[in-house]
Chain A
Amino acid sequence: MVDDLIPAPAAGGRAASAPLLGRDTEPTLFELSEPGRSSWQLRTTGVPEIPLDELVPERHRRRLPLDLAEVSERDLVGHFTRLSHRQFSVDLGAYPLGSCTMKYNPKICDAVAALPGLADVHPAAPANCVQGWLELLVELEAALCEITGMTAATVQPAAGAAGELTGLLLMRAWHGARGDTRHKVVIPDSAHGTNPASVTLAGFDVVTVPSDGRGCVDVEALHAVLDEDVAGIMLTNPNTLGLFEEDIRAIADAVHGVGGLLYYDGANLNAILGIVRPGDMGFDIVHLNLHKTFATPHGGGGPGAGPVAVSERLAPFLPGPRPIRVGDASSPRYGWSTPERSIGRLHSWHGNALVLARALTYVLVHGSDGLRDVARLAVLNANWLRKRLSRSFDAPYDRPCMHECVLSASSLKRATGVKALDVAKRLLEEGFHAPTVYFPLIVDEALMIEPTETESLQTLEALAGALERIVADAATPEGALAATEAPHLTPVRRVDEARAARHLVPTFDARTS
């Protein structure tokens, strides 16, 4: 009998994952330092060598000698190269970290960001010296508006959380301009932690609405909390369970009905590119995570970019200065303009510009059809994994998902003592990055898996096979023990997080003091 949960292996190809090498600890830069060594070489300038004491008064001069590190260039390169060998990355292998959209980052985007005509431009140069940059930003804003179904955008926010706060300040300004002071913002219990944190910083109170048995916003419960003190609601759609909020129109009508606004958290936009747009669902404000959906590299935790797009009625409140097109279409010129009721500036300059250039490159390469295919294949990959793995793990919401699926190790833990965390650690030594674990908070022993569209069927099979092996091995006491002690084959073994917090050592100098 054919088991429909284990398809026949795909022909050809090879899984794109390999374990990390090397298990020796790397000394710090400070331990490599030897007095008298140096790497730096500076330009010969011919500027008169005025002594320091003629330049800076004594009371302003450094008293304690500055001690950084003294290493040769060769040692510097060796050090950081060895560190890089102790680091997993998308370029090395599959990174199915739910909610993070760790897709392949096309190299052309790096090449664009390195163009001197983009990278070496001073942000305060006069507008006539930065026409290319202004055009780039105007074009990106227009593309993001089309993708989200919005009217106008700002590219200043440097990351998703900054975009959230921007959107909430826009919400506050919009109500304020109507003489309406509102205090509450509604958030589902499945929301990312940045949502409630941003709500607090925007001066609102968080009202949490529960999810229903299907994993979506409980519409009845929502009605119960909606009143004229609600400034708006923040939603992620598909939500953090990877499920599409089918009742979104009813939710939008209900929130708009009490005079509130809808905020779209774009963390999961990858699932719906070119399929359905937040604007058409009824959202008023959208932030995008360009470092997720538009493949700009995450850089080990940043930089990101979190542009915010809004509907027409919110456009006058956008941050300024904004890049704008002036003059006629035949000979366009570009400049800056601050909207009349702008909430103000959000960034020292114009946002994470080189990230924005990468994102526009990604949009142009994909185009309309390519972006739609991104969503289709991301959703295909996630559903394939969900179905394949639903025999090995609990599926708390067992229905088709979008770009990611949330499974649970609850039964596994009960039967074997092996927790979601152990599954994650075991997977690391199989050569894959772990899924997101223990999020969303409403799922016990959650494993949140987002394969993205750039992983092949062979890689998905290898990932599923590894997870199935972990579950099978856990059935024996030795196997379960091995899982709870995993990983064994990574650059370091399981890291003692409790000790790090208890005996805080935040710098090299704190080791000895």
Chain B
Amino acid sequence: MSGYTPHTEADITSMLGFLGLSSLDDLFAVVPAALRLAGGLDLPGGLPEPDVFARMQDLAAANRPCGRDLVCFAGAGAYDHEVPPVTRALASRSEFVTSYTPYQPEVAQGVLQAVFEFQTLVTRLSGLAVSNASLYDGAASLVEAVNLAYGATGRQDVWVSHGVNPTWREVLATFAAGTGHRIHDVPLTDGITDWAATAFNDTDDPGAVVVSYPNYLGCLEDLAQARALCDRTGALLVVAFDPVCAGILRSPGEWGADVVVGEGQALGMPLSFGGPYLGLFACTMDHVRRLPGRLVGETVDAEGRRAYVTTLRAREQDIRREKATSNVCTNQTLMAVTAAVQLGWLGTSGMAEVALRSARGARYCRDGLLTVPGVEPLTTGPVVREFALRLPLDSAMVVERLADEGFLAGVALDPSYAQGRPDGLLVAVTERRTRAEIDAFVSTFEKAVR
């Protein structure tokens, strides 16, 4: 018996006696004998916690985490922003960590109110009226946005900018096998979506037009053009925004987005090898009844006091079943609570400061790297936190070389972003990178590409 089960031998004997059974095996009499596992699971025996912890420490030691020994210049949807002790402390409170979905609101006001505050913060960042309580990650939010647009327009063609994160587009394609949506890839020219490109014109009017702001290469798309395209075709405008860059950028709502999706990892979550992260999802009030997942609303209790509860539940799978707006049940609530804490910590001024400092670092780093012989810009327009370069060598090799020198240099770009060549590199700079780190990175970079 592990230390987590409280049963003494006497407890077990008395409980079996109450049930009229003589052994624990008798509890499974209903399982046909032929199916029962005769020899037990072929797994090692249990180990004491300290032994397991040592084993997990060994595994952790076989990784190279970002930090002093591997200075992070990688992004592509996962960013090394400041996560202060206060965010870690509050987000790890066991009341938030070890509770379930707030099905009984009378004893779940803590999570419900924190999520209500999260929803409010996301609407203020995105500029749209309603946010849900979170989805799995940015890719999942994109999938749900396209499903919402299909529900609203009845159209299955989707125009997706090539500037949307490629792994998100892969996920969208995976799920389209089930829904039958037709995904059309709209190419980039100089880092900006070329909506007039003829390469994708074998399509009916779309249900959704999807564009990223800033996009995967860090460039600032012309959302007015995307909005005009939607007005002309009747599509919904889905903007994949970055919540940190939104600290200084015009919000998607101001540009006329119908749905905003995003990856919320940068709002207080460590890099975590990719998860758990936080899918952000906001839409205009017109579409609230198509919103995927949970939504917390304010109401009152029997004494008229302010209270919170999950609402518009008739959209959800446990009520609507095969007609639900989405199949999502478990989401990323703890990450939403974390983001609410982090945004509370940053506040109005801190949010703008993080975005501004990241943009300054990116400018300084980009200018530095462009002095390296053979390194060229892949795009020419303004960038915010992230930028794309063309290297004189295979970029995956450069990343490996620089890792040996203590820098995570960025993410090698898919050749589709670099005219079919494997030499594109995506570099991200957050407010945590110092001038000394950037200077050392640039000089090491120069040696690595020689």
Q: Which of A61, A121, A244, A346 contacts B65 (CB 8 A)?
A: A121
Please tell me if the beta carbons of A48 and B63 are within 8 angstroms of each other in the complex: no
B139 to chain A, nearest CB (A): 4
Q: Is the CB of A300 within 8 A of B271?
A: no
- A348/B106 contact (C-beta < 8 A), A197-B326, A303-B335, A368-B40 known: no
Enumerate B161-214 residues with CB–CB distance to A below 8 Å: 165, 167-168, 170-171, 173-175, 177-180
Contact B139 A348 (CB under 8 A): yes
Contacting pair A84 B110 (CB below 8 A): yes
Q: How large is the interface on B (under 10, 10 to 19, 20 to 34, 35 or more residues)?
A: 35 or more
Identify A47's interface contact among B15, B76, B435, CB under 8 A: B435
Nearest-CB distance from B311 to chain A (Å)?
4
Task: List residues of B (256-297) whose CB comes within 8 Å of A's CBs.
Answer: 263, 270-277, 288, 294-297
> How many A-B contacts if CB must be within 8 Å?
740
Q: What's the minimum C-beta distance from A498 to chain B, rounded to whole angstroms? A: 8
User: Which single residue of chain A is at the shortest CB-CB distance from B111?
Assistant: A300
B382 touching A501, Cβ below 8 Å: no
List A residues 56-103 near B (Cβ within 8 Å). 56-57, 59-71, 73, 76-77, 79-81, 83-92, 95, 97, 100, 102-103
Q: Does A322 contact B (CB under 8 A)?
A: no
Q: Are A45 and B179 in contact (CB under 8 A)?
A: no
Would you give 18 A-B contacts (Cβ < 8 Å), ordered by A? Answer: A29-B344, A44-B434, A83-B114, A87-B110, A97-B100, A118-B56, A118-B272, A128-B403, A147-B41, A194-B317, A199-B322, A300-B114, A303-B330, A345-B170, A353-B275, A368-B42, A384-B19, A506-B129
CA distance A44 to B357 in the complex (A): 10
Residues in B with CB closer than 8 Å to A197 are: 317, 320-322, 324, 326-327
A351 at the A/B interface (Cβ < 8 Å)? Answer: yes
Count of chain A residues near B, Cβ 8 A: 215
Contact A347 B346 (CB under 8 A): no
For residue B131, give the distance in angstroms from its CB to the closest CB of chain A: 7
Beta-carbon contact of B382 and A87 below 8 Å: no
* Contact of A135 with B59 at beta-carbon distance under 8 Å, contacts A67-B124, A485-B302 already known: yes
Residue B424 interfacial (CB < 8 Å): no
The CA of A439 and the CA of B117, in the complex, are separated in Å by 30
At the interface, yes or no: B433 with Cβ under 8 Å from chain A? yes
Question: How far does the alpha carbon of A373 sit from the alpha carbon of B134 in the complex, in Å?
Answer: 35
Are B95 and A89 interface neighbours, CB within 8 A? yes
Chain A residues whose CB sits within 8 angstroms of the CB of B394 once the complex forms: none
Contact A56 B306, CB 8 Å, known A303-B335, A494-B301, A504-B297: no
> Across the two chains, which residue of chain B brings its CB closest to A27?
B306
**Binding stretch for chain A, among B22-30, B369-377, B442-450:** B22-30
Q: What is the bound-complex CA distance between A319 and B174, given in angstroms? A: 9
Contact A344 B171 (CB under 8 A): yes
Give chain A residues whose Cβ lies under 8 Å from the Cβ of B92.
110
**With a CB–CB cut-off of 8 A, which chain B residues contact A162?**
136, 140, 328
Chain A residues near B72 (CB-CB < 8 A): 122
Given A119-B271, A206-B322, A300-B102, A52 and B117 contact (CB-CB distance below 8 Å) = no
